Amino acid sequence: MPTIDDSILTADGVCPVTVCTPQGAGPWPAVVMYPDAGGARPTFREMARRLSSLGYVVVVPDVYYRNGEWAPFDMRTAFADAAERNRLFAMMKAITPEVMESDARAFFDYLAARPDVAGESFGTTGYCMGGRTSLVVAGRVPERVAAAMSFHGGGLASPDDPGSPHLLAERIRAAVYVGAAEDDPSYTAEQSEILDAALTAAGVEHIIEWYPAAHGFAVADNAPYDAAAAERHWQAMGDFFGAKLGR
């Protein structure tokens, strides 16, 4: 798939992005793909290309752009190395719901201005931290999100977190899909019940599915990567975006 590096002007600076487009003539629906805690890297460039091959313009943002030229993480060892773990958590903590919203508005404006993009509302998908971001953005920028997906996303329904996505359920207009890992302390069965109840009460169309895998199952350079679960996630993404965004 044609792939370029570009940049988007945001309220806080310039965010580098990877943009993948399908072969042929557009316009096409568009999706913002939010990376996991490891940030934008070659793995997500390849994932964007695969999603783009299904008929979407896909943007992967460097959500850590406020850190300048940050050193990449090795996601197979980052959580076992105390210094790297602390660096990663500090960068994650700076991505607040307010930051997610502000950046998303810039990303959506960028997509709406592209002649190869169809429509004014878009899809979002994300992994780990990015899965949470996908749902936060659906709640905080509801008029621009038609379909929101989350894969092994953490913190989706934390009662003691004022920024938890489940508290935004009444604002969400998008259809929502959550692909949860069965082995994931960051999204438990109890949290899933809270999220399901909130979305149901708000009348949000949603699907919550459990994958027999661990947190990180869909991203190839994560230690818990599970090829079978990852393939299932690609099928789910193709089906869900195909039904809600078209191709």
pLDDT at 147 > cutoff 90: yes
Q: What are phi and psi of 139, to 5 degrees?
A: -85, -30
pLDDT average, residue stretch 168-182: 98
Q: Find the domain containing 205 and state its range.
A: 3-244
pLDDT > 70: percent of the chain: 100
Q: In terms of Cα–Cα distance, which of 227, 220, 216 is closest to 184?
A: 216
Q: Residues with Cβ < 8 Å from 130, sequence gap 6 or more?
A: 33, 34, 35, 36, 63, 153
Burial class (CB in 10 A: 0-12, 13-18, 19+), 234: middle
- Residue 88 pLDDT: 85
Residue pLDDT, tens place only, 21-75: 999 888 999 999 999 999 999 999 999 999 999 999 999 999 999 998 888 888 8
Q: Kindly state the tokens that stand for 14.
A: 């310039």
Q: What is the total count of domains within the chain?
A: 1
The Cα–Cα gap between 192 and 226 comes to 22
pLDDT average, residue stretch 70-93: 85
CA distances from 59 to 21, 163, 225, 234 (A): 9, 24, 23, 17
Q: What angle do CA 22, 28, 34 make, to 5 degrees?
A: 75
- Residue 56 pLDDT: 98
Confidence of residue 85 (pLDDT cuts 50, 70, 90): confident
The Cα–Cα gap between 1 and 128 comes to 25
Q: Is the pTM of this model over 0.75?
A: yes
- Residue 151 pLDDT: 98
3-state secondary structure of 180: strand
Which is it for the CA torsion 20, 23, 26, 27, positive or negative?
negative
CATH number (domain holding residue 145): 3.40.50.1820
Least confident span in 83-87, 151-155, 207-211, 240-244: 83-87
